[in-house]
Amino acid sequence: MGGNFRLISDTAANPVGTGQPLITIAVTTNNRSQKAAELITALRPQLDPERNELLIIDSGSNTQHAQTLIETAQMPGSNSARVRLIRLDVSGSSRARNLALACASGKWVAFIHDDALISDDWVQALFHAVNNVPENCAIIGGPVVPEFDGDTSHLTDAWRILIYPYPSREGDCTQNPMITGANLMVRRDAAIAVGGHDMTLGRHGDLLMSGDERIMVNRMIANGWRLWVFAEMAIRRIIPSDRLTLKWAKQRMFWEGVTERRETHLMGTSPGLGQNLWFSLKLAGHLFMCLMPIEATKHHLSLAWHEGYIHEWLFPAKIPPA
């Protein structure tokens, strides 16, 4: 997984444990200790000491945030559920998620973003989902519902897809596996069997790629596992006002282009020279349209995506060493 790690805090009286919990809830965080603390505080009363545990991965946070996480993890809870804090010396979303897979005790690992807002029965919804999927299901997703901190009337469809709630369907969604790592539960053994989250994707310092969970899920599906979605598992996320600017959307689209190019390469479906040249022509076309005196938001976003795609084709992003 890369990077050194160490156990910082463990609230269990017997760290080895007396049995395997059904679900490990994994919160990975980097320099957002206040958001993580709010989520952890909401999670702790819902934990069932006999059936699940909470695993916090500090992914290279600075000293101040690291100390806040220690205090949060060691805070007495309303029950005796196990809460562990593990420190990873380097940042990186895929590294942190893979460390959670490696250290989790549960049969299932539920990944949730550190800024998520949950209902009072969210953990029970996890148990309901696990108990109501067929044996061949190893991937369970839940919707992510955005709450916007600002005006959204200017958002185009191309813009909304970056932040819109998904998935919007329920039941077996294996044929159209549109999920998000912000609210995703996987069988630990099945995820580890495909190598976990792909280390060449995800956020690593200034490299803002995504898709590490999508590659993992696609590989699990290729191994014969099914994906189900449960609306009861929905979480909410506050979308800050700076993500409602064209500047942010263009940057996000650039990295989505980088991600998609890398994903196609990893899945063995890389386009040939002809298609890459066609993407280059489309890039030039969108650049021209952006110069025209028209409402060009969609062209700006498409331009940014194609720019990222071509940039990854010509100059592949290099993940910093652990």
Give me the pLDDT at residue 72, please.
94
Tokens at 21, concatenated:
């919990």
Residues 6 or more apart whose Cβ sits within 8 Å of residue 193: 220, 223
Q: List the CATH code of the domain at 5-241.
A: 3.90.550.10
Contact (Cβ atoms closer than 8 angstroms) between residue 70 and residue 38: no
Q: What is the pLDDT of residue 138?
A: 99
pLDDT, tens digit, for every residue of 128-167? 999 999 999 999 999 998 888 888 777 766 666 666 556 5
Query: CA-CA distance, 322 to 317, in Å (whole number)?
Result: 15
- Average model confidence (pLDDT) for the chain? 84
Under the phi-then-psi rule, with left for phi > 0, alpha for psi from -120 to 50, and beta for the rest, what region is 31? left
Structure tokens at 25: 């809830």
Structure letter (DSSP) for residue 241: G
Closest CA to 142 of 229, 213, 225: 229
State which residues of the chain have pLDDT below 70: 1-3, 13-19, 77-78, 156-168, 205, 269-296, 319-322
Q: Is the dihedral of CA 124, 129, 131, 132 positive or negative?
A: positive
Rounded-to-integer distance, Cα 322 and Cα 67, Å: 22
Exposure string over 97-107, b if 16+ CB within 10 A, otherwise e: bbbbbebbbbe
Tens-place pLDDT, residues 69-88: 999 999 876 677 899 999 99
Output 34-39 pairs: Cβ under 8 A, ≥24 positions apart. Answer: 34/68, 35/114, 35/115, 36/69, 36/72, 36/114, 37/68, 37/69, 37/72, 39/112, 39/114, 39/115, 39/116, 39/117, 39/118
- Residue ranges of domains in the chain: 5-241, 246-314
